[in-house]
Structure 1
């Protein structure tokens, strides 16, 4: 059922994509993965580092590479403007005609106390300047991806605000995004919110299956989390800034509430919700741009066991939650 919904909604719209992580020793080749996106009409991909093998495979595919991350270990070196220009000359300009690059993400879930935090805005600026010099500023935007720990007072969502530690870090970045017409990227995981606070967050609220509104007027936790970030943006003078949900997913194993049934329910309901025209209470009239995490389980991903169970497809390329579906051309 999930695979059917997944393909059906991709044919209908392009507001949902899938993150492509490569931390596994049993995954298909990069060309095979690009072919999977094509035959299943998955129109958007997030990749976590600039990889010429993937970019070459993407040429002419019409897949939107909405997000291409600057690898974390590369960020500090790109504080040198000439190095940033070389990066753009290597990974952006040669592919700009045949690969639909949309957003370069400098940093993924960087926290204000992280060593790399001091470099994020400088590198964003350097890459933006290089992109502008190549006259690609209308096609390719520069942003960064945050997680929900940068906000607080998130319930009700209208009270959402950036934490005292986060605001000095994120406010100049938000000003940069506003100035350059780029969205903010946000990784939102109702799963972790539920797993960490089961007493106050019903499972149905996290899985989009709650009947009726809760006390704050929200039918699901995803909307509440997204609107709390929008509220925080309003409080720093960025009420018109758009958010792209750059990651969201639910594990099928490895932790509290992690099961095939719950993962299926979350992914299928998120796809339907994102593709609908309902939007969120604060930003009605969707669709919502969201990227599902992730294409495959990554058996070599660092961290707790749960991190290795977010995949939508098996390494043999069959859908994890349904027998193989007939490809749609």
Structure 2
């Protein structure tokens, strides 16, 4: 029975709940980095030094694109939260349940006591009409079952990483929808994510919209002062928010209203072309880190978990611009004045 004597107790409980929510949102604000390893460069420090660099820079989250002992071992007891990827060329194999069990045992369960796995990204930017597309959902389901059988389903969420090229309509964000090719691919994946409580991982790159779609540079760098896109009552002054909310709109139209988005990649190259400069890249990364604390016009007030691409420049990439996305040079010198904590 409620009495006046209960009032201080109830007020204290409400205060505690608000504090817990605030702490949860503060945790979500932590910025991560993407680490490609040595496969795309021949001049990088060893994996143990990459992990040490993240620790000294207060980087609390990391995305790797394939698990292997040289990176997983130094991550033990590091307290770094981890997205671990299933490469696209492994999707067909993991569509076999027994192969998924073996993959989870070797790469996840054997390290799970002291590596902080958070998400498994089953595939990265898979073409919805490509040969690998039909294996994405079965691989996700099999990996999830193996995770659940290992008792890790409450710790690790299974998802896939997509890009905004899946959107057939983008502008304004409220009108966004998946393309005719992407819709049948995404619908069952979204259903799976909703059923398991996992977020969708999305690679969000305003830079590529500048490079290939002639979007204004200030709009992409968070430096536009005026409203660029008016979408009903929602106002957009930066392209990152517009891309995020366009993807949210497409998801909502595919029965994914409860789904959250984790930004699994976002970045800007520092060389290779006219807009690819140290100044533009530094502006983008610094503004992005500050911006994602506050959500988007469509979903305000909720911090966006975001992974910056990438940790180092990678000199073996084929395209010149792809070589210059690093936050650090191979000698571990920082390119930009970014506070990661």
Query: TM (normalized to structure 1)?
Result: 0.91
Corresponding position: 1:226 with 2:241: no
In 2, distance between residues paired with 1:212 and 1:315? 38
In 1, distance between residues paired with 2:80 and 2:110? 16
Task: Check whether the contact 1:50–1:71 (CA below 8 A) recurs between aligned residues.
Answer: no
SS of the residue 1:62 aligns to? coil
**Structure with more contact order per residue of length (Cα contacts < 8 Å, sep ≥ 6):** 1
Cα RMSD of the aligned pairs, angstroms, is 1.6
Between the two proteins, the alignment pairs up a number of residues equal to 309
In 2, distance between residues paired with 1:78 and 1:155? 36
Residue 219 of structure 1 and its aligned partner are, at CA, apart by 1.2
Listed as ranges, the gaps of 5+ residues in structure 1 are 1-11
Corresponding position of 2:225: 211
Query: TM (normalized to structure 2)?
Result: 0.88
Residue 212 of structure 1 and its aligned partner are, at CA, apart by 2.8
Residue 182 of structure 1 and its aligned partner are, at CA, apart by 0.4
In 1, distance between residues paired with 2:229 and 2:299? 19
In 2, distance between residues paired with 1:131 and 1:312? 33
In 1, distance between residues paired with 2:281 and 2:299? 26
In 2, distance between residues paired with 1:133 and 1:26? 40
Task: Check whether the contact 2:32–2:63 (CA below 8 A) recurs between aligned residues.
Answer: yes
| Structure 1 residues 250-269: aligned runs within 5 Å | 250-269=268-287
| Structure 1 residues 120-199: aligned runs within 5 Å | 120-198=136-214
Question: Which of structures 1 and 2 has the bigger CA Rg?
Answer: 2
Corresponding position: 1:53 with 2:67: no
Q: 1:99 aligns with which of 109, 115, 123?
A: 115
Deviation per CA, 1:104-126, whole angstroms, max 9, x where unpaired?
Answer: 11110001111111100000011
Task: Check whether the contact 1:62–1:100 (CA below 8 A) recurs between aligned residues.
Answer: yes
Task: Check whether the contact 1:195–1:256 (CA below 8 A) recurs between aligned residues.
Answer: no
Task: Check whether the contact 1:152–1:162 (CA below 8 A) recurs between aligned residues.
Answer: yes
Residue 164 of structure 1 and its aligned partner are, at CA, apart by 0.7
SS of the residue 2:247 aligns to? helix
Runs of at least 4 residues off by over 2 Å: 12-15
Listed as ranges, the gaps of 5+ residues in structure 2 are 1-25
